Amino acid sequence: MRHLLGIAGWRRDELEALLDRAQEHLPGGPEASHVLRGKVVANLFFEDSTRTRSSFEVAARRLGADVLNWSHAGSSVSKGETLLDTARNIEAMGPAVIVIRHRSSGAPHLVARHVKCAVVNAGDGAHEHPSQALLDAFTLRQRWGRLDGRTVLIVGDVLHSRVARSNLVCLKALGARVVLCAPPTLLPPGLEEMGGEVTHHLDAVLPQADAVMCLRLQTERMSEAFLPSQREYSRLFGLTPARVERMKADAPVLHPGPINRGVELSPVVADGPRSVILEQVANGVAVRRAILEVCAS
């Protein structure tokens, strides 16, 4: 049994072994694994999700597991039940793995200290979203083979992005160069200490990128006073067809979703030939199968 609370703490060889295993879970792969037959995977989503929850559910079912889908809406959280009481009560139903998303950074770590089963972080506050980073790395590895020496440019609301943080750690561990581009108000401190390079000038850095990952402007996590003008933000940091022209000819465009169309990403680019956004989603099922296997075994 192993938790996946963040990318930090996983060695390069462990990350690569997990991505290699995910490769075998792609459609048409060598074997149908039902290693979780008779086991339960519990999805505890204290925050909304389309991709992550569905993807873990499909992954768990493909491995033969029963899936317990819990969400805060309609639960006894409305009666004041705490995170730990909720987790312990779900644990009493016998899951092999609890997959948890929570608005507070560190919530999965707290749960992991109080339950006996494996815990997978499906996104905690602005901290980490390790399964997203792994599926992003997997998608890039499919194109390049190895990430060594490649430059991945992450553009957007880095401050509020657990995707950016997990990707920075994961991509660096796999040998890539990571450049983060955002307005100064949307960059947290400490990125350089984590191995990232920081810039505020998108047009200058775009030609260097082997891949561009756009991030959503997370307005729901910003107070009114600090909300940037979406028009201004889009003008300076939005990925438009004109900006795609500045990119390397074969550089793909990634986005973890959900997209603010016309803000961080032009619809023409989101749906265009450079976009691998739906490949990311498809790969997510294979990667999450590998995660559940590793964590439950």
- Detail the residues annotated as belonging to a binding site for carbamoyl phosphate: 51-52, 101, 129, 132, 257-258
- How far apart, in whole angstroms, are the C-alpha atoms of residue 297 and residue 275? 35
User: Measured from the CB atom, is 15 or 135 closer to ligand CP?
Assistant: 135
Assess whether 102 carries a catalytic annotation. Answer: no
Please tell me whether residue 49 binds ligand CP under the rule CB under 6 A: yes
Assess whether 39 carries a catalytic annotation. Answer: no
Assess whether 248 carries a catalytic annotation. Answer: no
Among 12-20, 221-229, 231-239, 255-263, the segment contacting ligand CP (CB under 6 A): 255-263
Residue 58's alpha-carbon distances to 9, 66, 98, 152, 284, in angstroms, are 27, 10, 15, 29, 10
Assess whether 129 carries a catalytic annotation. Answer: yes
Give Cβ neighbours of residue 157 (< 8 Å, ≥ 6 apart): 182, 186, 215, 216, 217, 218, 264
Number of residues that bind ligand CP (CB under 6 A): 9
Find the catalytic residue in 11, 79, 116, 201.
79
Q: State which of residues 50, 76, 89, 297 lies at the interface with ligand CP (CB under 6 A).
A: 50
Q: If you search the block for the tokens 């750690």, which residue do you land on?
A: 169
211 φ, ψ to 5°?
A: -155, 150
Strands, sheet with 177-181, edge to edge from the N-terminal-most edge strand: 197-199, 177-181, 151-155, 211-214, 253-254
Q: State which of residues 18, 22, 36, 52 lies at the interface with ligand CP (CB under 6 A).
A: 52
Assess whether 79 carries a catalytic annotation. Answer: yes
Please tell me whether residue 103 binds ligand CP under the rule CB under 6 A: no
Give Cβ neighbours of residue 56 (< 8 Å, ≥ 6 apart): 41, 43, 99, 120, 122, 131, 288, 292
Closest by CA position to 291, among listed 133, 70, 143:
133
Q: Are strands 118-124 and 177-181 parallel, antiparallel or unpaired?
A: unpaired
Among 22-30, 73-81, 198-206, 250-258, the segment contacting ligand CP (CB under 6 A): 250-258
**66 within 8 A of 39, measured Cβ to Cβ:** yes
Each residue 113-152 as x (binds ligand CP by CB under 6 A) or -, in order, gives ----------x--------x--------------------
User: Measured from the CB atom, is 206 or 285 closer to ligand CP?
Assistant: 285
Annotated binding-site positions: 51-52, 79, 101, 129, 132, 162, 216, 257-258
Residues that bind ligand CP (CB under 6 A): 49-52, 123, 132, 256-258
